[in-house]
Amino acid sequence: MKISQREMVLGVATLAVLLIGGSWYAINGKLAAWKAMKPEMARLQNEIVRHEAAIKMQGSWEGDLEELQKDLLVYDTGQRSVSPELMKTINAISNKHELEITRTNPYAEKPTGNLFELGINCTWQGSLDALVGFLTELQQQGIRYDVRTLNIQPMGKNTGKLKGNMIIDCAYTRQANG
């Protein structure tokens, strides 16, 4: 059986129409889904770029963290409470600047990895110069102490004294000795 040229052209044309129609049918259903996913794909691509940048900076961050942790006080893991020592240090600094701390109230210790934080609520009274000197020396301690809340009010009319309270967050690490 011999196929004529006309039949060959019709066969190829039919095959081409079937392939194009089948492709259109398969793609048309997925095209709407692809268009709907396009914003999500762009968001995920941006997130990948951000995460890759963070991974590249991790070495720098670890170096900075190690440098900052050198300034932290290190306490024994077996020591139950470090708040008496921290309050003693805060009282020594306040006495040096003649700021009277009338009451201290430590909060619970909050661990974050090998870093620990302990807040101490201090009620105080004294002059503005004493308060500024105290806060300046705390600031010079680096990351050991951070005053997150500070309330100030006059102690009385024309006394020139102030009173208030502050919450000092103390940062330190713990290591096993022995």
Predicted local distance difference test score (pLDDT) of residue 34: 80
Q: How is residue 5 annotated by DSSP?
A: H
Q: How many domains does the chain have?
A: 2
Q: Which domain holds residue 170?
A: 73-175
DSSP structure class, residue 94: H
Do 114 and 168 share a domain, yes or no? Answer: yes
Tell me the three state secondary structure of residue 118.
strand
Question: How many Cβ atoms sit within 10 Å of the Cβ of residue 172?
Answer: 19
Residue-wise pLDDT for 100-146, tens only, equals: 999 989 988 888 877 888 899 999 999 999 999 999 998 888 778 88
* Residue 147 sits in the same domain as residue 110: yes
Q: Are residues 162 and 84 in the same domain?
A: yes
My answer on whether 12 and 48 are in the same domain is yes
Instruction: Looking at the structure, tell me whether residues 47 and 110 fall in a common domain.
Output: no
From 70, 88, 118, give the residue that closes a domain. Answer: 70
- 59 lies in the same domain as 80: no
User: CB of 172 within 8 A of CB of 75?
Assistant: yes
Going by C-alpha positions, the residue among 84, 89, 90 that lies closest to residue 106 is 84
Residues of the chain with pLDDT under 50: none
Residue 110 sits in a domain whose CATH number is 3.30.70.60
pTM for the model stands at 0.61
Is 153 in the same domain as 166? yes
Please tell me the total number of residues recorded for the chain in this structure: 178
